[in-house]
Amino acid sequence: MVEFMQQMVNGLSLGAIYALIALGYTMVYGIILLINFAHGDIMMVGAYVGFFSITMLGSNVFVALLFAMLACAALGVLIEKIAYRPLRNSTRIAALITAIGASLFLEYVTIFFLTPEQRVFPAEAFPMHQYQIMGLYISNKDIFIIVLAVVLMVLLQYIVKRTRAGKAMRAVSLDQEAAVLMGISVDKTISFTFALGSALAAAAGVLIGIYYGTINPLMGIIPGLKAFVAAVLGGIGIIPGAMVGGFLMGILETMVSGYGSSMYRDAVAFGVLILILLIKPTGIFGRNESEKV
Amino acid sequence: MPSSKRQWLWLLINIVVLAGIFTLVQYMIATRMLNQYYQINLAAMAINIILSVSLNLINGFTGQLSLGHAGFMAVGAYVSAICTKNMDLPFIIAIIAGCLAAALAGFIIGVPTLRLRGDYLAIATLGFGEIIRVILQNIEELGGPAGIVGISRLTTWPYLFGAIVFTIIIIQNLINSSFGRAIISVREDEVAAEMMGIHTTWYKVLAFMIGAGLAGLAGALFAHYFYIIKPETFNFLKSFDILVMVVLGGLGSTTGAVLAAIFITVLTAYLQAFPAVRMIIYALILVLVMIYRPQGMLGNKELTRKTFGRFWGGSA
Amino acid sequence: MQVKRCLTVLVLVLFAMGIVAGCGTNNTNQQGTPAPQGTEILVGLNCELSGGVASYGTNAANGAKLAFEEINAKGGVLGKQIKVLERDSQSKTDEAMNVSADLVSKGVVAQIGPLVSGAVAACTPVMNENKVPLIAPAATAPGATVDEKTGQTFPYIFRACFLDSDQGVRMAEFAYDTLGLKTAAIYGSTSDDYAKGLAKYFKEAFEAKGGKIVANEGYVTGDKDFKATLTKIKATQPAFIYVPGYYQEVSILIKQARELGITAPMGGGDGWDSPDMVTVAGAAALNDTYFTNHYSVQDPKPAIANFVKAYETKYSKTPDSFAALGYDSAYLLVEAIKSADSADPVKVAEALAKTKDFPGITGTMTFNEKHNPVKSIVVIEFKDGKLVSH
């Protein structure tokens, strides 16, 4: 039982990271129906910004988080402006290929300038404390990462449901043309969405740096893909869905490694994706809707 | 079939030119005018042509974005390598087995996933491609992560040349048949195609199977040229490489896919010392082509005699 | 009509191929001249400078280049300077083979690299066909120098390092005999044959001694979260945990193991050799961990100390095992050229095979009939962040 509880803790902290990345995916998909392949790489850039602000500016973790979120918000808006906006009216396949291009671009420009070697996140930035509760090993990092994920999600839900900008986002996602007629600036709203989603990805990047200790230019690929699966699992376009999906993915992977075989963990993630897509493509929280013609 | 004298003449000229090129390269290899380095690049080029032309059938003509092409290549490579290495079967049988196995894999993966649309399909095929790799990595009998070492080098220029000719003839004839019109209609408007009584899923799966089978062909040739295959070679970055060729050449243009494959192979060879630069160029190709020329270099046009006729100002 | 059209397409395609191939031939005629006679000896470096294992290739290439610079500064070999042709195999097997063919066509006397056993296997046929020797600095897979089908040694393939089997056995002995531990868990990388080989030989040797393997798990390259499997291993209460793999993952793995309250000693192979181990895992977590290695940076022997100093001055970082092995490979080659008194690849290969008591940084080497150097393995312990050899 202790072992099972320990696995739950492991799964929750892994899931918190997936959830944070999945939130960004879900928001962007919700508004322009695009899988932003570059999302995982924006997370990587965020991790590097956090790394440099800690090592070179000597800032603390919270300042580093802030810097990373601001820098990546700007980066997200820029990518949308340059790469995605010109394609808003072309085919989905074209937009998706562009997204793959943007992803490769971020990865290899980073490699070009910062070498492919991993960087070590300074351990002093976040002193670790270990707690032992009834045989369970929990660190302050686990708690920090889970709490931060939940706080950011609640904040996001508040923005989307309660603010004017959030209302505009929902309107654009529901019907772009009608939103224009209501006097909503679609461009501005989409930029805002990218800024928000990318800032969350940056937060996830810094958290990965703190939690695991190393970062590298290709770190965004696999968590990015898994987070996408999480977003689909929860119902893409739905904020609480991404959160639940992320935590579920984390727990599922942990259980597969813990009680099955660690070798098949990654295959299980993609297997879940395909099952979900076939059985209930709208995800756990999604409403069933037939595709509009 | 050719109907007039003039068309017969062109067919004859084509065959003569083809035979001439084949003989020329064969002669250059036999006399070692082409040294090993250029021979390897020639083989890589031929394999890339088959890969990009076959992926173009799925992505370009049928309009289904597949990101798992390297997975099918892996199936072809492994099955054919086992045939020659462990079962001592003739190479040609191994090639056929590799093709069929890859086509079968295409069928198994295609049936459930091709009901998905657009971006979901892309992710699902990406996932399946990776699952194939993970499975190969975990089968000890297939060498696990180290892969299969010591495959005989059986791929020679005649095989490569024959495979290109075979692939292009198959694809071109398919495209210009009722099957081709059906899959293009799926690309243009799936719902409308369904309305017209086209069994869209069936056509998509069929196109997917043929594309996968040809990728298996490329895999078999690859395995028997480069001596060694391992799961890591066939990861999703390999699929992206192939995608870059198709996008650059034009989604829906066979000649475009061929030219892009040649261009990318040469580019890779020249940028050997700067791999990060190569990937940045790939990325820029994807983004810029999609923004400024979403139809690719040639769009859905083919380079034919006529194009050249117009170019030279004469009437062909 | 259709047949004709597709044939037209084909003709154009093959024209293009012909043109490209044609250009190729022209180039060959210019570049493919045999090695310049007289002033220079060409040596090829075929290393992984980019891609997944870029750091190994880069460090080995750095070590080899340092050695050649020293040799050139002392007047070269046979009165000639050595010119290094450096190429990148991008951590891909097919590229490695491509690079080999390129280097051979440029007329190199020998090739150093690649680092990874699989890439060496891809180069082997090219080297054997063209009769040019290859020195693999770190290919530790047993099959790298021997044809598995016939059991014959490849005449042109050599290595400067010990084998996976030796390393696994050495650690099993160390854990069972020296530390006196009777149960062990294995949690290694399954993404490469190197770690799998180590795991296999460790298991065999440990069980042969009467020890018990209580868990056998794996991870893949790039993994960052090991807690689930570690929790599972913890429940089996092993006295020792063997973690064959590379430092990128192992450092995080050890840190997480200690965070989960696993106090058992842990061990691994030369893939652990990196300064990142201490910075990532922390000195405290690394206490009571051991790994087998080619040499110790802190060895006070003058040859080693001089090498470490020269390397640090030139590249401003500590030389790891790959750097030392690259350096040794270069000197091995130069010794062979000297004793063959010729820069003819075939003669150099013959001389290499006869190498005896060669004093390298990573130990004294004598090639056996399988072109494997017989040399010692050091076991290194992390003690409060410092490396202590046993």
Separation in Å, CA of C228 to nearest CA in chain A:
5
Residues of B in contact with C131 (CB under 8 A): none
> pLDDT confidence of C351, banded at 50, 70, 90?
very high
Residues of C in contact with B272 (CB under 8 A): 87-88, 90, 95, 98-99
Number of folded domains in chain C?
2
Q: For residue A252, give both structure tokens.
A: 């599922």
| Chain B residue with the nearest C-alpha to that of C218 | B138
- Statement to judge: residues C122 and C192 lie in one domain: no
- What domain range is A184 assigned to? 17-127+139-220
Partner residue facing B28 (CB), from C6, C10, C25: C25
Residues of C in contact with B176 (CB under 8 A): 2, 5-6
Average pLDDT of the residues in C293-307: 87
Q: C336-353 burial, b for 16+ CB within 10 Å, e for fewer?
A: bbebbebbebebbbbbbb
Separation in Å, CA of C63 to nearest CA in chain A:
18
Separation in Å, CA of A150 to nearest CA in chain C:
20
- Statement to judge: residues C158 and C183 lie in one domain: no
Give per-residue pLDDT as tens, C194-219.
888 899 999 999 999 999 999 999 88
Separation in Å, CA of A84 to nearest CA in chain B:
8
Helix locations, chain A, DSSP H: 2-32, 39-55, 61-79, 92-114, 140-162, 164-174, 176-181, 186-212, 221-234, 239-259, 265-279
Residues of A in contact with C51 (CB under 8 A): 116
| Chain C residue with the nearest C-alpha to that of B2 | C1
Is A107 inside a domain boundary? Answer: yes
Give per-residue pLDDT as tens, A27-72.
888 888 888 889 999 999 999 999 999 999 888 888 999 999 999 9
| Chain B residue with the nearest C-alpha to that of C33 | B35
What is the ipTM score, two decimals?
Answer: 0.84
Partner residue facing B138 (CB), from A93, A263, A291: A263
Put simply, whether B76 touches C (Cβ < 8 Å) is no
User: Which H or E run contains C111?
Assistant: strand C111-112
pLDDT at B1 over 60: no
Is C375 inside a domain boundary? Answer: no
Q: For residue C147, give both structure tokens.
A: 């044809």
Is C131 inside a domain boundary? Answer: yes
Contact B213, B106 (CB under 8 A): yes
Q: In the A/C pair of chains, how many CB contacts fall below 8 A? A: 79
Cα B212 from chain centroid (whole Å)? 9
Is A80 inside a domain boundary? Answer: yes
- Alpha carbon distance B31, C233 (integer Å): 61
Q: C197, C190, C210: which is closest to C168 by C-alpha?
A: C197
- Statement to judge: residues C173 and C203 lie in one domain: yes
- Tell me the CATH number at C93: 3.40.50.2300
pLDDT at B215 over 80: yes
> pLDDT confidence of C37, banded at 50, 70, 90?
low
Contact C192, C221 (CB under 8 A): yes
Is C374 inside a domain boundary? Answer: no
Lowest mean pLDDT among A42-46, B21-25, B80-84, B102-106: B21-25
Number of folded domains in chain A?
1
Is A91 inside a domain boundary? Answer: yes
Separation in Å, CA of C261 to nearest CA in chain A:
7
pLDDT at position B142 is 86
| Chain A residue with the nearest C-alpha to that of B59 | A93
Beta-carbon separation of B35 and C105 below 8 A:
yes
Average pLDDT of the residues in A281-287: 76
More confident residue, B308 or B51: B51
Residues of A in contact with B247 (CB under 8 A): 97
Partner residue facing B176 (CB), from C2, C16, C101: C2
pLDDT at position C196 is 87
Mean of the per-residue pLDDT values of chain B: 86
- What domain range is C281 assigned to? 164-293
Put simply, whether C248 touches A (Cβ < 8 Å) is yes
pLDDT at B311 over 70: no
| Last residue in a domain, options C239, C262, C293 | C293
Is C170 inside a domain boundary? Answer: yes
Put simply, whether B312 touches C (Cβ < 8 Å) is no
**Calculated CA dihedral for residues A173, A175, A179, A184, nearest 10 degrees:** 20
**Secondary structure tally for chain B: helices H, strands E:** 13, 0
Beta-carbon separation of B275 and C88 below 8 A:
yes
Average pLDDT of the residues in C138-164: 87
Which of 225-284 (A) contact C at CB < 8 A? 253-259, 262-263, 266
Is A286 inside a domain boundary? Answer: no
Give per-residue pLDDT as tens, C46-80.
998 877 777 788 899 999 999 999 999 999 899 89
Is A101 inside a domain boundary? Answer: yes
Is A213 inside a domain boundary? Answer: yes
pLDDT at position C7 is 54
- Go through chain A and tell me how many residues it has: 293
